[in-house]
Structure 1
Amino acid sequence: MIGALVLILLLFLINQILFNGFEKKHKFFSKKLMNWLFFYHLVFFGVYYTYALYNASDSKMYYERPQLLDSWGEYFGTSTTFIDFISWPFINFFGFSYEMMMVLFSWFGYLGFLYAYLFFRENISVKVKVFKLDFLVLILFLPNMHFWTASLGKGAPIFMGLMMFAYAIKDPKNRWGALILSSFITYYIRPHVFLFVAAGAVLGYMTGREKIALWKKMVIYIGMVGSLLLVQDTILGMAGLNESENLVEGFEQFSEDRGGELAKSGSGVDMANYPMVIKLFTFWFRPLFFDAPGLLGLIVSFENLIYLLLFFKIIKKDFISFLRKSPVSVKMSITVFLLASIAMSFVMSNLGIIMRQKSMVMYFLFFVIFYYMAQKRYDRILKIKKIRSLRLKHFEKHNV
C-alpha cells in the first residue's frame, strides 16, 4: 500500500504540470477545481478498492492475466486483451502491485474528467445553474461516474479516450496528437464505440453551423471514413458479423443471444420484447428505486433521477430547431450518444452492467443539455440588453 501512496503523490505532481500547461492555453482553467476533483476521485478509488476486497471484481483478473505470459506483444489486441497490454509493462517491468495498478487506472479515469471539463468549458462559456447548483460542477462530481472509472479495467481508459477525443476534435490541427491517441485508445478498447465516435465527428463537421473550409471537412471525412474501412472487419468481428451475409439479421441474432446471456443474472431485465423507447429509457435511467439491485443500486437510483430531471430540460418544442442550428460539438455529441445508446440497449439486459456501461456516453448527453440551456440563457441576456438599449434610446429621445 505504501507504493500506492507514493504513486498518488507522483500523479498529483504530474497533474500540476498538466494544469500549468492547460492554464496557459485556456483562461477559464481552474487548478483549484481540478485539484478538488482529483481528491474527490481518489475517494472513489478507496471505495472501489474496499468493495473489491470483499466482492468479486474483474480488476483482480485484470491484474493476474498480464503475469501469465512473458511476451508483451502477445497481449496486443482489442477489447480485454488491450487492457492487459497496457498493464503488462507496469506489472512486469516496473513491479506495480495490485493497489498501484488500481491507482494508475483510477488516474486514467480522472484524466477523463479533466478532458470533460476542458470540452465543456471551451465550448460553453455561459454559466448555467440547475437545482441551484452550477451545472458543470454538478455533473463533474456525480458519484456513479467516478465509481466506475476508479479501478483497473476498461471503464477508466475508455472514458479518458472518449473525453480526450471530444476535446481534441475541436482543433484537430493543433491537437492531432491527442486526437490520434484518443482514437487509438477508443478503438482498441471498444471498436464499436469508435464507430459511433467517427460517425458523430463526420456528421458534426458536415452539418455544423460553423463556417469550416471544405478542405478541412474533407480531411475529417476521409480520415474517419478511411479509418472505419480499415478496421471494419474488427468491428464486425466483435459481434460475430464479419462473415454474415445479412448484417441486420446477424445483429438481431447477436443482440438476442447476448441479451439472453445477460438477463440470466440476478439483476437481469427481460428487454427483448420492449419497445425501442422503453429500451432506451431502461438504458439511460434505470434502476429507479423500484428495481434497484442492492444498496449500490439505490445509490445509483438517486443519480439516475438527476439524469431524468436533466433530460426533461430538453423536452421542449424548440429543441429540434436548436439541434438543426447547433455547432459541430453538439451534433457530434448527440450522434455519439444516440448511436451508442441504441446499440447497447439492444444487448444490455443486466442493470448492473447497464450502470457501468452508460458511464461511457452520458457525458455526451450532458453536453447537449448544457449547451441548450446555455444558449437559452444567452438569448435571454441578449433580449434583455436589446430591450434596455431601446428604452435608453427612447428616454434620450424624449429628454433632449
Structure 2
Amino acid sequence: MKRFFKAYKNLCLLGAYHFFFVILAYYYALHHPADSQLYWFKKEYTTHKNWLDFFNVGTDFILFINYAFAKFLQLPFWFGFLLYGAIGFVGILQFQKLAYKILGSKEIVVRNVNVLPFLFYLPNLHYWTANLGKEALCFLWISTILLKLAQQKYRSLVLWLSLICLFILRPHVFLMLFFPILVVYFVYKKWNWKFKVGISMLGLFVCFLCYYYFLILSRVNSFSWARLQHFNEYSILSFRNSGSYVPILEYTYPEKFFAFFFRPMFLDAYNIFMAVLSIENLVLLIVHLIGVYVIIRNFRSFKFLMIEKIIIGFVCIAFLLYIQRYAGLGIFVRTKVMIQPFFMIVLLNSIFKYLTLKREHTHHD
C-alpha cells in the first residue's frame, strides 16, 4: 500500500481532493434546488416517459444516459454524484495530459516552486466536474477532443465519440469548439486544395446543423436576426430576479470580459463559497495579466501551436456568445469551467517559454 501511494501520490491527492467536492456538491443538492435532481429523475418532467423518449439532441440526452442507472437499476441519488464525480475526474486527468502535452514539461518553476500543479486544483473546476450535471460530461469530452488533436490521433475512437456526444448534448458548445478547429486546420494544415474544400463544405454543413439545433432548443425557431437579438435580451433580463444578477447590457466589452472571467470578487462575496471563488479569481486575474503581458511583449518571437490557436478561437467565440445570453455570476462561474482552464494552459505555456528563454540568455551571458 505504501509503495502504491508513493508511486501514485499526486494522483491519490488529486483524487481525494476531487472526492471532497463530490461530497460537497451532493450535500448542496440535497438542501437546495438543483438541476441534478432533474437529471436523476426526481422531477415531474421525467415521469411517464420511457428510455427512448430521452434520445434527443439537448438536455434530454443526459437523461437518456442516466436512465439505466436511475430508473432500471434504481440506484440512489448519491450514486449519481459518485458516477459523475468519476467522469469529471477522468476529464481532469485528460486536461492534465493536455497541459503536459502542450507545455512539453510537467513543471513550471518560479522561485524554485513548481506552480503548474496549482492549475489542476482550482476549486471551481473541481466543484462543477464533481457535480451530477452536464459540466462533467462536457469537460471530459472537450478535454479529450483537444488532447487527441494535440496528439494528432485523428482516427481515435474516443475522439469521434466525444465529438458526437458533445454535439448531441450541447450543440452550441460543439459549434464553438468545432468552428475554430475547422478554420485552424483549413489555414495551417498542408492539405491539397480539393481536400480542404471538401472538408470545409462538410464542416460548414455541420456548423449549420449545430446552429439549427441551437435555434430549436432555445425556442427561437427562426433564422431572423431580430428575433434572435430579442430572445437574447429577454434571456439576459430574466436573470434580474437572481441574487447574482449582473447588468451586462450596460457594460462595455472590457467590463463584460472581467465580469465573465473574474467575478465574483471580494466585494461580491456574501458567503464562504463566494469568498473562495474570489481568491481563485484573483489568482486567475494575476496569471492572465502576466500571461497576456508576456504574449504581447514577445508576440513576434512566440510561435503558437495549432492546438493553442484552436483554444484561443474557442475561448473568444464562447465569450462573445455567452455574454449575449447570460447575466448572472452563478451562471458565469458554471459556464467558464468549460472554457477558462484551457486558456490557462496557453497562458502558462507562454510564461513557461518566456522563463525558458530568459534562463538561456542568462546562462549564455
- After superposition, the Cα gap between the structure-2 partners of 1:130 and 1:242, relative to the gap in structure 1 and judged at 3 Å, is farther
Does 1:263 pair with 2:251?
no
Does 1:278 pair with 2:255?
yes
The residue type equivalent to 2:139 in the other structure is F
Judge conservation of contact 2:86–2:130 (CA < 8 Å) in 1. Answer: yes
Give the aligned partner of residue 169 of structure 1. 149
- After superposition, the Cα gap between the structure-2 partners of 1:231 and 1:353, relative to the gap in structure 1 and judged at 3 Å, is closer
Does 1:155 pair with 2:135?
yes
Judge conservation of contact 2:172–2:210 (CA < 8 Å) in 1. Answer: no
Give the aligned partner of residue 337 of structure 1. 315
Give percent identity, aligned residues only. 26
- After superposition, the Cα gap between the structure-2 partners of 1:230 and 1:298, relative to the gap in structure 1 and judged at 3 Å, is same
Q: How does 1:301-340 map to 2 (within 5 A)?
A: 301-316=278-293, 318-319=295-296, 321=299, 325-340=303-318
Once the two structures are TM-superposed, the CA of residue 384 in structure 1 deviates from its matched residue by 4.5
Give the aligned partner of residue 146 of structure 1. 126
Deviation digits for residues 363-383 of structure 1 (CA, Å, limit 9, x no counterpart)? 121011012112212323443
Inter-partner Cα distance in structure 2 for 1:136 and 1:188: 33
Judge conservation of contact 1:149–1:156 (CA < 8 Å) in 2. Answer: yes
Q: How does 1:342-381 map to 2 (within 5 A)?
A: 342-381=320-359
The residue type equivalent to 2:85 in the other structure is S
- After superposition, the Cα gap between the structure-2 partners of 1:178 and 1:253, relative to the gap in structure 1 and judged at 3 Å, is same
Mind listing any 5+ residue stretches in structure 2 that lack a counterpart? none
Judge conservation of contact 2:294–2:354 (CA < 8 Å) in 1. Answer: no
Does 1:186 pair with 2:166?
yes
- After superposition, the Cα gap between the structure-2 partners of 1:94 and 1:134, relative to the gap in structure 1 and judged at 3 Å, is farther
Does 1:49 pair with 2:26?
yes
Inter-partner Cα distance in structure 2 for 1:214 and 1:310: 40
RMSD: 2.7
Judge conservation of contact 1:204–1:330 (CA < 8 Å) in 2. Answer: no
Judge conservation of contact 2:22–2:130 (CA < 8 Å) in 1. Answer: yes
Inter-partner Cα distance in structure 1 for 2:47 and 2:268: 40
Inter-partner Cα distance in structure 2 for 1:323 and 1:195: 31
Once the two structures are TM-superposed, the CA of residue 325 in structure 1 deviates from its matched residue by 3.2
Once the two structures are TM-superposed, the CA of residue 147 in structure 1 deviates from its matched residue by 0.8
Once the two structures are TM-superposed, the CA of residue 99 in structure 1 deviates from its matched residue by 0.8
Judge conservation of contact 2:291–2:348 (CA < 8 Å) in 1. Answer: no
Does 1:96 pair with 2:108?
no
Inter-partner Cα distance in structure 2 for 1:173 and 1:62: 33
Inter-partner Cα distance in structure 2 for 1:96 and 1:191: 29
The residue type equivalent to 2:254 in the other structure is V
Inter-partner Cα distance in structure 2 for 1:324 and 1:242: 44
Judge conservation of contact 2:145–2:162 (CA < 8 Å) in 1. Answer: yes
Deviation digits for residues 244-300 of structure 1 (CA, Å, limit 9, x no counterpart)? 33x3x3332222111100122122121111111111110000110101243321111
The number of equivalent residue pairs is 355
TM-score (normalizing by structure 2): 0.88
Inter-partner Cα distance in structure 2 for 1:207 and 1:131: 39
Judge conservation of contact 2:308–2:346 (CA < 8 Å) in 1. Answer: yes
Judge conservation of contact 2:294–2:351 (CA < 8 Å) in 1. Answer: no
- After superposition, the Cα gap between the structure-2 partners of 1:322 and 1:91, relative to the gap in structure 1 and judged at 3 Å, is farther
Inter-partner Cα distance in structure 1 for 2:117 and 2:228: 39
Inter-partner Cα distance in structure 1 for 2:114 and 2:308: 20
Mind listing any 5+ residue stretches in structure 1 that lack a counterpart? 1-15, 17-29, 389-400
Judge conservation of contact 1:135–1:370 (CA < 8 Å) in 2. Answer: no
SS of alignment partner, residue 164 of structure 2 = helix
